[in-house]
Amino acid sequence: MLYLVRMDVDIPDAVGLEEADALKAREKAYSQELQRGGEWVGIWRVVGEYANYSLFDVDSHDRLHEILSNLPLFPYMTIQVTALATHPSAIG
């Protein structure tokens, strides 16, 4: 099932550059593994913002929450989840 997820990231200064970079590196590896696994279908940067839109294809709400809540940057994220159904015009 498909979900559109918007993630806005706001890492407080108090976290420090070094730790922030480490978090971002772990976030990248975590995301790319899920992309290779096919659950994280796509990820795009919102122009001008420290935010992304991502498309997920997973089996259940629980699985999606597991993925999102284990994002290394999760504590510094505001996340909006939209459930997507098949559109009658979609040719895919």
The answer to the question of residue 22 lying near its own copies (CB under 8 A) is: no
Assess contact for 33 and 25: CB atoms under 8 A.
no
How far does CA 88 lie from the centroid of its chain?
26
> What string marks each residue from 25 to 64 as x (binds its own copies by CB under 8 A) or -?
--xx--xx--xx-----xxxxxxxxx-xx------xxx-x
> In whole angstroms, what is the distance from residue 87 CA to residue 91 CA?
9
Least distance CB 16 / its own copies (angstroms): 11
> In whole angstroms, what is the distance from residue 54 CA to residue 81 CA?
10
The answer to the question of residue 87 lying near its own copies (CB under 8 A) is: yes
Nearer to its own copies among residue 18 and residue 89 (C-beta)? 89
